[in-house]
Amino acid sequence: MIIEMQGVNIFQQKNLVLKDVNIKIKAGEFVYLIGKTGSGKSSLLKTLYGDLPLIEGVANVVDFNLGTIKRRKIPFLRRKLGIVFQDFQLLSDRSVNDNLLFVLKATGWKKKNEIEDRIKEVLTNVGLENKGFKFPHELSGGEQQRVVIARALLNEPDLILADEPTGNLDPETSEEIMKLLFDISKKGKAILMATHDFHLMGKFPTRTIKCENSSVVEVEGVMNQSTPFNAITKSEEERSEGHNL
């Protein structure tokens, strides 16, 4: 199991944001995380990458026990995770290659030829094999997000945590990014992706969990491609809220 949470209570300061969270996610699974603004999606992701300490319950993520992990070991946890956020967070003062080099050096890579090969490999994985020399501002939003995904892949993570990775992209580019993420998950990586984009979810249906009333629940009926899009939402009221679930 890549993620296993049992009876986890998640707090922001003194406030209980999510209670009794029980989730299991296996290798190769792609899972959406939905829920209204403020329902706890980011708090759940932050718990998974060690930004919010685990206070109550049991959680294992990529073989790290979040209940016992020492603060100084958190970078080792993060090395086994790929993190992809909505705002691209690339270093603007250096090329794509150098952005990737920066991460490899920071995570202990030393050999020049191995570094060069790995950078070429991840850029090829995301379809940007000829763009390594460009600076972030010379790339489109979709290309920048591809670089972020390439960066997330550098250390061959078992799990990718994505927080609205298509939030800043137009619909067509969003679809390209989704195809890329689905291809990556088919190669065996688990992906947990927070999103508000029901339209995109309709085009790429998969298992969905939802933060609601301080709990995390499975959303039934979205497990396969034949499920109609509107099975995702449960009520007219929710449907009429559009993207703001």
Ligand X SMILES: Nc1ncnc2c1ncn2[C@@H]1O[C@H](COP(=O)(O)OP(=O)(O)OP(=O)(O)O)[C@@H](O)[C@H]1O
Can residue 41 be called a binding residue for ligand X (CB under 6 A)? yes
Minimum separation from the CB atom of position 133 to ligand X (A): 35
* 83: helix, strand or coil: strand
Query: What residues contact residue 122 under an 8 Å CB cut-off, 6+ apart?
Result: 100, 150, 151, 153, 154
Shortest distance (Å) from residue 42 CB to ligand X: 3
131 binds ligand X (CB under 6 A): no
Contact 173, 88 (CB under 8 A): no
Which residue, 158 or 241, is less far from ligand X as judged by CB? 241
Q: How far is the CB of 71 from ligand X (least distance, A)?
A: 18
Q: CB neighbours of 163 closer than 8 A, spacing ≥ 6?
A: 41, 42, 45, 84, 85, 86, 193, 194
Question: Which of 2, 3, 8, 17 lies at the binding interface for ligand X (CB under 6 A)?
Answer: 17
Q: Toward ligand X, which CB reaches closer, 40 or 165?
A: 40
Tell which residue, 216, 195, 221, 184, has the closest CA to residue 206.
221
CA distance 46 to 165: 15
List the interface residues with ligand X, window 189-228 (CB under 6 A).
Answer: 211
CA-angle at 153, arms to 152 and 156, nearest 5°: 125
φ, ψ of residue 191 in degrees (nearest 5): -130, 130
130 is an interface residue for ligand X by CB under 6 A: no
Among residues 30, 31, 32, 43, the one that binds ligand X under rule CB under 6 A: 43
Residue 147 backbone phi and psi in degrees, to 5: -65, -40
Please tell me what DSSP assigns to residue 230: G
Which ranges constitute the DSSP H helices of the chain?
41-48, 74-79, 96-106, 112-125, 141-153, 171-186, 198-203, 236-240
Which residue lies nearer to ligand X by CB, 152 or 194? 194
Q: Which of 30, 32, 35, 57 binds ligand X (CB under 6 A)?
A: 35
- Least distance in Å: CB of 36 to ligand X? 7
* Residue of 23, 25, 39, 64 interacting with ligand X (CB under 6 A): 39
Decide if residue 242 touches ligand X (CB under 6 A). Answer: no
42 binds ligand X (CB under 6 A): yes
Question: Considering the rule CB under 6 A, would residue 185 count as an interface residue with ligand X?
Answer: no
Stretch that binds ligand X, among 41-49, 100-108, 120-128, 149-157 (CB under 6 A): 41-49
We find the least distance from the C-beta atom of residue 193 to ligand X, in angstroms, to be 12
Strands 215-219 and 190-194: unpaired
Q: Is 240 in the site for ligand X (CB under 6 A)?
A: no
**Which of 9, 12, 214, 227 touches ligand X by CB under 6 A?**
12
Site residues, ligand X (CB under 6 A):
12-13, 17, 35, 37-43, 211
